[in-house]
Amino acid sequence: MIKVIAVCQSEKKGTTKTPVPEVTIQEGFGVVGDAHADCLTHRQVSLLAIESIDKMRGKGLELNPGDFAENITTQGIDLCKLPVGTRLKVGGEVLLEMTQIGKECHAGCAIREQIGDCIMPREGIFARVIQGGCAKAGDTIKIIKAAG
């Protein structure tokens, strides 16, 4: 089963995010209260698989959901193997459309500095919000539409 392990947010860009019980995801904007939410970008919500975090844990690092600044930590899906354009239904309401796989870490990336590596450039994905709603740990994720 594909599911949400954690939902996270932060007040500042370039920092780790804190897991919270639930987030409100606004259509065309992102996670309400999160520094990365923006109606002008195609990177409104970030996702990273717990399996990717586990790879870094295998290097002896103590890491938790949100440490790579992802909004949604998933389980059971190889996110970076999905094509851009794939739509993901999170819980009963939220619909996301993948817009980008990975990203360049900016100069002075706090995550890279704190952890020594950042897996987001390789395995994190970004999405725009097609339909908003609430999301929380335990929600199921369904692949609705894959591009191509």
Residue 45: CA atoms inside 13 Å, Cβ hemisphere, count? 33
When divided into structural domains, the chain yields a total of: 1
Q: pLDDT tens digits, residue range 21-78?
A: 999 999 999 999 999 898 888 999 999 999 999 988 887 778 899 988 899 999 999 9
CATH of the domain at 25: 2.40.33.20
Which residue is it, tokens 């999301």?
135
> Model pTM?
0.90
Kindly state the helix (H) or strand (E) to which residue 114 belongs, with its residue range: helix 110-115
Q: Please, what sign has the CA dihedral across residues 137, 143, 147, 148?
A: positive
Domain range for 120 is 3-145
